[in-house]
């Protein structure tokens, strides 16, 4: 009985994704067929993907999305761990105030920032450029917060022993703290990747050049008719391309994926 | 302690400050400064060309007479309502289904979870096609009664509800996961004790599970409403035109964008975002208050 209910729910929720992935391999006319075809009757191979790359520079968008997401992941993970370690394991003047200041940025939604941040970044001369696209969102306060909690659990004796052995503080971070934080860093990396990969508003306002656009913004091209024809096949192909990286993360790192998202929700 | 050349003691605690400095400098530049700058902007008129002019509270006063703002505020509140209460109930029901072992649970749960994976823009693009007036959703729903055309997105009376339905579809599996984490944290002894006392599954749920889920409920309520207040990409991509038709899906996030980047009225855009911030802060305060009581 439970299996039947669950099956109904799974079909209801999975079918739009199924529709997207299968329509990427259908001919344009078949996509709108009523009743809907569950699988392509007239299999198109990769033709719709090639068409999508012809209508707009899809692979450039795709690479930019990777650049955007990976730079955010790299910076947040490294500097988040460094700062989290610093806040957790050192007692320096101003520690509480600085931590509170960093933490308070979690509460500010991005829509509040977008207008002043745009004016600021424009004043830096970074409008419509990679620095303007990539730098302002590179750090995520949630990363600092999460890493501080995990770093606090590191045993002090271990750090003290290294200190007695004459290791520099930076080496203690790099060679003792960082390896122990690795599982938490993996969860953090996945969360930040998902957030950055789907980011829409900032890339939309800061970049005008097609060559600099990320895939989430580039996708909107495909909802418009091209040469007077609707291009739903190309739209579904590009949508599938935009979903594959996250789906791959889900398949290969399911444990970290669900753990990371839950941790982000509970603590963020 | 480490010794610097020259014998000056450099206490290792200062390394902590050095470790946090890059992050602090970053947030000062790209979060704290723009937040304060945005607050200041909301008291000015600024079009990016001539210098900002201080106008005091004028922008806020004008907002409440502004037809677009009133539309956006009402649309946002309707959207938040539709993106919260139904989501709480349905995601909890889904969690109760998947909480217990049955045949094929893992596969079905993974399939149910699929809408969480695509970025919002992908969801909007795919649903734009599914909600074509003569498209797949029309045939799956109206088809049974011989209806061949439903203007899901083109009808200003229907479009806001299409937004809510798509949003809820995408977000319910995520909140199911949160409920599942909450359910998993309930000590099994409590349920067993209830079962031994002869409580049925419905009574066990009301009297045992639900009180234990209080903290999870506060979390789900807060996250879903904060998330809904900030909605933007869905209303930008899914409707026939951003915020359309006839401004029926114009929400506050979209109005910030419209004023800021289409009309270049930076002061008005900042004022709208300050109102948004106040609404979200109010939700956060309610959450903190409930958390304290929980």
Residue B145 counted as domain residue: yes
Distance, CA of B41 to CA of B6 (rounded, Å)? 51
The hierarchical CATH code for the domain A49-267 is 1.10.3720.10
Residue B266 counted as domain residue: yes
Say if strands B2-3 and B53-54 run parallel, antiparallel, or are unpaired: unpaired
What's the complex ipTM? 0.93
In the block, residue with structure tokens 């939700």: B283
CB within 8 Å of chain A, chain B residues 96-155: 97-98, 100, 102-105, 108-109, 111-123, 125-130, 132, 134-136, 139-140, 143
Cβ–Cβ < 8 Å for A186, A253? yes
Distance, CA of A184 to CA of B218 (rounded, Å)? 25
pLDDT of amino acid B45:
95
Residue B184 counted as domain residue: yes
CB within 8 Å of chain B, chain A residues 181-210: 197-198, 200-201, 204-205
Q: Given an 8 Å threshold on Cβ–Cβ distance, is A262 in contact with B26? A: no
Q: Domains in chain B: how many in total?
A: 1
**Residue B105 CB-half CA count within 13 A:** 12
Q: Which of A74, A83, A152 minimizes the C-alpha distance to B22?
A: A83
- Summarised one tens digit per residue, pLDDT across range B225-235 is 999 999 999 99
Contact of A152 with chain B, judged by CB distance below 8 Å, is answered with no
The whole domain housing B72 covers 67-293
Ranked by mean pLDDT, the top range of A224-238, B8-22, B254-268 is B254-268
Mean per-residue pLDDT over chain A, rounded: 92
CA distance A164 to chain B (A): 9
CATH code, B169: 1.10.3720.10
* Stretch among A174-178, B12-16, B175-179, B256-260 having the lowest mean pLDDT: B12-16
Q: Given an 8 Å threshold on Cβ–Cβ distance, is A10 in contact with B112? A: yes
User: Which residues of chain A form CATH 1.10.3720.10?
Assistant: 49-267
Q: A2-23 vs B105-113: helix axis angle to the nearest 10?
A: 40
CA distance A122 to chain B (A): 10
Contact of B94 with chain A, judged by CB distance below 8 Å, is answered with yes
Q: Which of B283, B160, B152 minimizes the C-alpha distance to B221?
A: B283
Distance of CA A142 to the CA centre of its chain: 14
Sort A209 into a burial class: Cβ within 10 Å, 0-12 / 13-18 / 19+: exposed
CB within 8 Å of chain B, chain A residues 68-107: 79-80, 82-83, 85-87, 89-95, 98-99, 101-102, 105, 107
Residue B99 counted as domain residue: yes
* Sign of the dihedral defined by the CA atoms of residues A38, A42, A45, A48, in that order: negative
Backbone φ and ψ for B9, nearest 5 degrees, come out as -75, 130
* Stretch among A49-58, A114-123, B8-17, B246-255 having the lowest mean pLDDT: B8-17
Q: Given an 8 Å threshold on Cβ–Cβ distance, is A242 in contact with B119? A: yes
pLDDT of amino acid A212:
95
pLDDT of amino acid B3:
46
Q: Given an 8 Å threshold on Cβ–Cβ distance, is A246 in contact with B119? A: yes
Helix/strand/coil for A229:
strand
């Amino acid at each position: 009985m439970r299996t039947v209910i669950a099956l109904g729910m799974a079909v209801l929720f999975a079918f739009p994704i199924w529709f997207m992935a299968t329509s990427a391999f259908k001919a344009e006319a078949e996509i709108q067929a009523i009743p809907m075809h569950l699988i392509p009757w007239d299999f198109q191979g990769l033709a719709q993907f090639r068409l999508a790359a012809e209508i707009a520079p899809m692979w450039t968008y795709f690479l930019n999305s990777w650049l955007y997401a990976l730079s955010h992941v790299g910076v947040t993970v490294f500097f988040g761990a460094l700062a989290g370690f610093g806040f957790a394991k050192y007692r320096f003047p101003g520690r509480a105030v600085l931590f509170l200041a960093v933490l308070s940025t979690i509460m500010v939604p991005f829509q509040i920032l977008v207008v002043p941040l745009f004016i600021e970044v424009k004043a830096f001369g970074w409008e419509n450029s990679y620095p303007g696209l990539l730098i302002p969102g590179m750090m995520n306060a949630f990363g600092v917060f999460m890493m501080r909690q995990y770093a606090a659990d590191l045993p002090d004796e271990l750090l003290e022993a290294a200190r007695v052995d004459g290791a520099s503080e930076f080496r203690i971070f790099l060679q003792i703290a960082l390896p122990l934080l690795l599982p938490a860093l993996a969860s953090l990396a996945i969360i930040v990747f998902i957030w950055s990969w789907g980011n829409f508003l900032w890339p939309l306002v800061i970049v005008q050049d097609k060559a600099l656009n990320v895939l989430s913004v580039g996708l909107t091209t495909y909802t418009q008719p091209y040469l007077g024809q609707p291009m739903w096949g190309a739209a579904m192909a590009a949508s599938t391309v935009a979903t594959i990286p996250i789906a791959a993360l889900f398949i290969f790192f399911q444990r970290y994926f669900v753990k990371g998202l839950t941790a982000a929700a509970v603590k963020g | 302690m480490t010794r610097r050349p020259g014998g000056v003691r450099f206490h290792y605690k200062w390394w902590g400050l050095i470790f946090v400095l890059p992050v602090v400098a970053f947030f000062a530049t790209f979060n704290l400064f723009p937040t304060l700058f945005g607050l200041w902007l909301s008291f000015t008129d600024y079009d990016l060309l001539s210098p900002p002019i201080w106008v005091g509270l004028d922008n806020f006063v004008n907002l409440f007479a502004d037809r677009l703002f009133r539309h956006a505020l009402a649309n946002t509140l309707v959207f938040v309502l539709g993106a919260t209460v139904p989501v709480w109930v349905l995601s909890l029901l889904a969690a109760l289904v998947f909480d217990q072992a049955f045949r094929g649970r893992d596969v079905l749960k993974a399939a149910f979870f699929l809408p969480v994976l695509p970025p919002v823009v992908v969801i909007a693009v795919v649903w734009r096609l599914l909600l074509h007036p003569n498209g797949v959703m029309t045939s799956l729903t109206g088809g049974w009664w011989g209806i061949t055309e439903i203007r899901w997105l083109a009808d200003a009376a229907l479009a806001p509800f299409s937004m809510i339905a798509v949003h809820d579809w995408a977000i319910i599996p995520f909140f199911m996961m949160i409920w599942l984490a909450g359910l998993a944290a309930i000590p099994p002894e409590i349920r067993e004790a209830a079962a031994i006392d002869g409580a049925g599954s419905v009574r066990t749920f009301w009297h045992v599970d639900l009180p234990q889920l209080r903290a999870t409920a506060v979390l789900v309520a807060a996250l879903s409403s904060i998330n809904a207040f900030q909605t933007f990409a869905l209303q930008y991509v899914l409707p026939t035109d951003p915020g359309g038709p006839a401004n029926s899906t114009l929400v506050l996030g979209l109005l910030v964008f419209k004023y800021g980047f289409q009309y270049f009225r930076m002061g008005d855009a900042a004022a709208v975002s300050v109102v948004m911030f106040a609404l979200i802060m109010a939700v956060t305060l309610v959450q903190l208050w409930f958390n304290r009581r929980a």
